[in-house]
Structures are given as C-alpha cells and as structure tokens.
Structure 1
C-alpha cells in the first residue's frame, strides 16, 4: 500500500465517513478525510441532533400549558429564542469538537476543504493539491432540494433554520415528509402560525396510514393549516422584509419565513465521479453493491449519497461494514430489514417493519391488532389526544411483521420493540409478556384484534 499517499481517502466527515475512517485506521490503514463544511456531517451539524434539541424545547412549551392541572403556578415566564438558538449552536460546536478529537486521536489526517475525484486513485483538493489513495470512500451525504419558482432565493431549508435571528410569527412550510412535519410541530408549539403546503395529497408517505391520518387530525386541531395539491409557485419580498407566498391554487399567504422541506438529494454535483467511470443514478446517487462498492474497484460509497436509507445509524453501519470488509478482512453486509424510524412531531410517530399497506401489497395474509387509548400523561392536558398502537401480524405464523405507534414517548419505546420484531417474535410472545403497569408501553402486550 506504500505506492499511495494514503491507504484510504474519505470525502465527507459525517457519521458514516468518520466511522469508516476510525475503523479503517484501527485495522492499520493510513487514512485521510476531507470535509468542505463542518466536521460531523448533517446529523450533528444541521440535522437530527440540533433538531431534537428544538423538539425538546418546543415540547416543554406544550407541557407548561398543563402545569395548572399538575398543581404548579408560574409567573413571569417568557420564551427567549436567542437563548435557545445559542445553546443549540454551542452544543453542536461541542459535538463537532468531539468528532475532531476522535479523528485526531486516531492519527487521521484532516483537510478542511472540498475534495473531488480526479481518477480511480486520485482526489483533488480545492487548493489544487492532488493526493493519491489506494481506496476512496464517498461519504458526502445529501443536500436539501429547493424547487424552481420565482422568489425561491428567499426560501430557507433545514440547513439554515437553526440560525434564525428571531422566532418567526408566521411560517409557511413546503413539504409533507418527516422534516416538514417536525419543524411544523416545533414552530407551532413555540407560538408561530404555521401553514403547510404540498404537491402531495397526504402527509408522511410510506408510514402507516392509520397513524398519519391521526397525526393530521391532531396537528390540525393544534392550529396548523394544510394545503394539499397546492405547492408554492412564487414568493415576493415585501418592504418590511416579510414574504408574500403564492400558491398554485391562487391563495397568497403572508409569512416571515418560507421553509422548503421538499426532500434531499445526494450531494454529488461536481464531485468528479465520471473521472473514475462512475455513472450516477437517476436521483444523483452513487450506485453501489451490497458491499458498498461502485463499478470502479477502488471507490466505495456509504450513507445518504447512495440514496438507500437516509438515516444516520444506517450510514454508521455502512461505514463500519466497508472498513471491516476492505481493511479488516472480515466481510460484512448491512441488513436493511426492520430499520426503525421515527417522526419527532408532536405527538411523535414511530414504526418498524411492514406497514399494513406494504404487507397487503406483498400479498401476505395478515391480522391487525390495535390499541386506541388516551395516555395517562395526556390526562393533564385540555386537549383530548389519544394514542394509537398497531401490530401487523402474519396470519399463519403469527410472526409480528410490523409495529406502529403514535403518542407520547413512542420513540423511546420503539427501540426495544424493534429488537423483538427483528428477532421474529410472534403475537403469542407479545401476549405472554407480563404488562408493565401503569405505562403506555403495556398496550403492546394487551392488544386485541382490529376485526
């Protein structure tokens, strides 16, 4: 391997790239990483970590409304967006330093600049320097898509939303996926007027419809407006700095910010992969096989840039599998079955395994078990919001094919449930498990047939 400057050069220092770098170095490889933005990638810098902190803050606003029934009285309470924003920013900086310290502790060379592929075994830095490597790993992630329309330069995405100078009073959000729903819940709970617009006819495609229909009903009751089949067609800046957002149906909505959450596209534009004979997929993704290998024997790719499942834990698993396979002589492949997923809306929605629609589309004979209940925590709220749990079960084997939940704390419950589904446990196994009372989780072992 001494014919090259490095054994491995990683383009992108997000969760997948950093994990691959660290494991490869542990197997004895000489590793370098290039990152054109901040170390840590989407999740740490501009994604799930700072967003979850905003979720906590906004959920606390909701709980404060219920304090009187809990026996508490507060005076002079007020919300300071600047304080929250600056705390979130400081925690992101802390995590970025932890990532940098990890790379440095493992002796991994860092290049804080853009790198592109100059050939099968060569990368070119923005400074003009060329570096050779026996293997190149593409781990640049994905980037928000902003549709073309007059005035789209006034739009912000999930990248910029964490840096707002002030808390907006009126928010228009384009999109109906998990990012759109999460930020809609955040701004709504913090007191903003939220309007959601979408080309689609419903929210959260791919999630179980029993849950998404309930979430839509709850969020509407909380004051979020929805415009389906009615995307943004233009936006005009007003003299006071606000926006007038025009929709396809003709309505114009006044807003302080216009947040576009219309999907994320692999960040491969200008990456130079054609210099290694690699043709991108229809969505701009890097095509790879089950071992994360491209058609070029020296180039691999992991994470969102492959457009398989855009989740941080998946990227981490892929990064480790790549390093173990290529440098550890221990070939590994990642299983994409039963990947748990969560929408940190208010209330949160979580699921693992097949939805009812997916199971029926596969022609499976299934039985559905549900629990529709009012969580004890919600008894303190003036809002009558019910939780809903659903099991999708193979009618012949009784194996639980999927579990889907909406209600308080469902993300914390789901991880243990995912283990059970991954292990292939049956409805009888669930039923035989003693309930933990009083808890919401006990509903999982007390479900009755929906028939």
Structure 2
C-alpha cells in the first residue's frame, strides 16, 4: 500500500479550503494546507469583510445628515480615510490570526508556500520541498480581471488596491456593473468622491430581477453617482497625478483613479494542472462534478476556482461537503439553488430565488406582488429614498419562487426569507404569518393585491 505524507493536501487557505481542511482533520485525516499569502482568502483579507467595513463607514455620511431631523446637531463631523484604513487592517489581522488558530486547532498543518503539481499525488512547494498526498483539493479562488489588451491597463486599480489607497481621490471612474462595481460606487460616493460608473451593458447587475436593477440605478443617480451605460473604456492614459479615460464612444473622463470591477478569473495559473490532466471549462475554471471531483480521480476543487456560484458561504458549504464525502463516509452534493445573496449597494439589495424574468421562462403562469414605499426613518429625516419589495409566485402551486428586497437591512431579511423559500413556502403561508409592526419587513406578509402592469 502506497504511503503518502498526507491524506489531504489543500492548495489555498481561503474560506472553502480552510473549512475542508478543518472538517477532514476532525474526521481523522492527516491534513496540510499551502497558502502563499495570508489565511482567510479573498473574503476575509481583501473582499467581503473589508468591503462591508467600508460600507459601514460610508453609511455614516447619510446617517449624520438624517440625524438632524431627529434633533441632533452635527456641525463638527469629519472623516479621516487613513484612520478607516488603519482600523480595517487591524481587524483583518485579527481575523487572519483567528483563522490560523482554528486551522491548527483542528489538527491541520499550515505551510506558508505556493504549491504546484508534479504528478497527481506529488506537489512542489516554493520552499523547495516536495510532498505527497492521497487526495488534493484545489481551493485557490479567483482574482480581479483587467482586460489584457487594454491600452494603459497598468494605470487601473482593482478592489485589491482600493482597500489600501493612501488617500481618497477627488474623482473616480469605476468600470463594471456587478456586485463589486456598484458596492464601491456607493462607498466612494458617500465618502465624498465624485463617482462615475462605466458599464458596457444597458443595465447594471446582470441576472438580477429587472425591478431591482432599475430601482437601484434610479436611487444611485439620486445620490449623485453618474452612470455611463452601454459604454466601454478604449484606453487609459496618465494625466498629471491622475488618469485620462477615453471610452469607445469618444467620451473622455478625467479622474484621480480608475478602478476595474469587470469580473474575476479563476486562480489556476502556476498550478501546473496540465501535468496531471485536470480539465478546465472554456472560462478556465476547474471542471468538477456534483461532489467537487475533477477529471482526475483523487483531485477535487471547491469555491470560486470552479466558477459555479461564487459566494463565500457556497465555498464553505462545498468544502464541508467534500470533507464529509471523502473522509466522513457521507455522500453530500451541494444544492446550488435558492441561495440567498446580498448586494451591499446603497440602498442595499437582498434576494433569494428566481427573478420575475427567469420565473416566466420556467413556469407557465406566475403572479407578482410588489410594493414601494419610503422607510419610516425617512419620514423625519426627509431623505428621498424608497424601498422595494417583491414576491414572485407560481400561479398554479402558490409556491413563492423568489423574494426581492431593496432598502435598509435587505440582506438580513433575505437570509431569513431563504429558509422559507428553501422549504417551499407558499404565498398563503406568507399571508398566514402575523405582521410585526412597525417594521419594513411586515410588507412581505401584508401584500395581497396582485401586481398588474
């Protein structure tokens, strides 16, 4: 019987890799994890967590304005970017150390090095060492993408660099229309940066419900964000301390910074996957089956490197399911349907299930219930911002197919709604639930009138 150094070797210590390593070790496997940067992955180190901290910071701009309507005096309020960055870094350091403690506490070995394949059971580390493993898990995530042939691409930053800017620019151009683009547009705009969002599509947030897309665009415009839709960047040039951005329609923008948020690409470079025959998808993601197994029997992959559903909780669930399947004697395939998600735009989005458009494709007849209103806090602050709530219902079964919310705490609501949708709740179940008053969420159980265009 072949002896290996490890039962499991994990490449990448992000959310999915760390969870897989911990659970496998708890099942009794001898586990090592290779990480070349910091433990915690994109979400913890340079993604969701620092982004949410920046969102919190940017909310105070409007909170101080709103406070006046409730009797507060706020003339001496000021903001310091360097303090925010420094305090964010302290929190990320704390989380990094916590991830290391949890990983090692479970009995897994952490190796701070880059790993690549020599053969299907043997890996080379950047330290010069070689190790062998019975099973290998690829959990290397993804990285921001800037078009390779864009003239001046070296002048652009991504979300990675946005977390470490020495100072806020007076003006920024953000290129993209997804989660990261709209979230950072809200952050910079509320922190006083003149913000332009450039997107080649006709509407932001492709794949989301059309009402959410339209409503968010309108609200962001009211906050002062400039949109250039149906537009793409043709070239970037240095201009003084900033950049000059020329679009394909010959529009020219001057800005202190240009930030690209046009998607992410799987981190498969330098893994030497060709040596072992791991198959990739046409978009260079690692191709896996329902149990996260690649085309090579003992090699698996989870998280963003597989480009299935690129959300941190999904990577964690995939990593846990992999470990239970391979080392725990259970066969668990992750269900990627009805996964709740939030966009920490301003206003915030929380959503679970099918959009109206997708539901109409899949079901013969659907009913729509929706409402738009000013949140209670806006009645005294005077803020002109409206919430949107929408239920998509299968007319034949009365089953709620999708719930879509925009406004304060939308993400928190979507997490709880995810349980109901996952359980197959009907509109009658919603109607039978007593409203909790006064809350915005009570609208979800008091909508009775079907929406007609």
TM over 0.5: yes
SS of the residue aligned with 1:163?
Answer: coil
Q: Residue 289 in 1 paired to residue 285 in 2? A: no
| 2:200 alignment partner in structure 1 | 199
Which is worse superposed, 42-51 or 102-111?
102-111
Distance 1:36 1:365 in 2: 52
SS of the residue aligned with 1:168?
Answer: coil
SS of the residue aligned with 1:205?
Answer: coil
SS of the residue aligned with 2:393?
Answer: strand
- Measured after TM superposition, the shift of residue 93 of structure 1 is 0.6
Q: Structure 2 unaligned segments of length 5 or more: list them.
A: none
Distance 1:60 1:75 in 2: 14
Kept after mapping to 1: 8 A contact 2:279/2:294: no
SS of the residue aligned with 1:160?
Answer: helix
SS of the residue aligned with 1:449?
Answer: coil
- Measured after TM superposition, the shift of residue 268 of structure 1 is 0.6
1:83-121, CA deviations, whole angstroms, 9 ceiling, x for partnerless residues? Answer: 001111110110000001112212321111111122111
| 1:300 alignment partner in structure 2 | 300
Which is worse superposed, 104-113 or 309-318?
104-113
SS of the residue aligned with 1:295?
Answer: coil
- Measured after TM superposition, the shift of residue 372 of structure 1 is 1.6
Q: Residue 339 in 1 paired to residue 350 in 2? A: no
- Measured after TM superposition, the shift of residue 221 of structure 1 is 1.2
| 1:358 alignment partner in structure 2 | 358
Superposed structure 1 runs of 4+ greater than 6 Å apart: none
Kept after mapping to 1: 8 A contact 2:178/2:205: yes
Distance 2:218 2:327 in 1: 51
Alignment of 1:6-405 (within 5 A): 6-147=6-147, 148-239=149-240, 241-405=241-405
1:137-193, CA deviations, whole angstroms, 9 ceiling, x for partnerless residues? Answer: 000001111013111101111111100001121010000001000000000111110
- Measured after TM superposition, the shift of residue 2 of structure 1 is 6.7
1:334-366, CA deviations, whole angstroms, 9 ceiling, x for partnerless residues? Answer: 111110011100100111001000011124311
SS of the residue aligned with 1:214?
Answer: helix
Distance 1:50 1:25 in 2: 29
- Measured after TM superposition, the shift of residue 74 of structure 1 is 2.3
SS of the residue aligned with 1:159?
Answer: helix
Distance 1:242 1:295 in 2: 47
- Measured after TM superposition, the shift of residue 422 of structure 1 is 0.6
SS of the residue aligned with 1:384?
Answer: coil
Tell me the TM-score normalized by structure 1: 0.98
SS of the residue aligned with 1:403?
Answer: strand
SS of the residue aligned with 2:347?
Answer: coil
- Measured after TM superposition, the shift of residue 383 of structure 1 is 3.2
Tell me the TM-score normalized by structure 2: 0.98
TM-aligned CA distance change 1:426 to 1:363, over 3 Å: closer
Distance 2:440 2:383 in 1: 18
- Measured after TM superposition, the shift of residue 270 of structure 1 is 2.3
Which is worse superposed, 143-152 or 78-87?
143-152
Equivalent pairs, count: 450
- Measured after TM superposition, the shift of residue 368 of structure 1 is 0.5
- Measured after TM superposition, the shift of residue 238 of structure 1 is 2.1
Distance 1:75 1:60 in 2: 14
Distance 1:197 1:402 in 2: 29
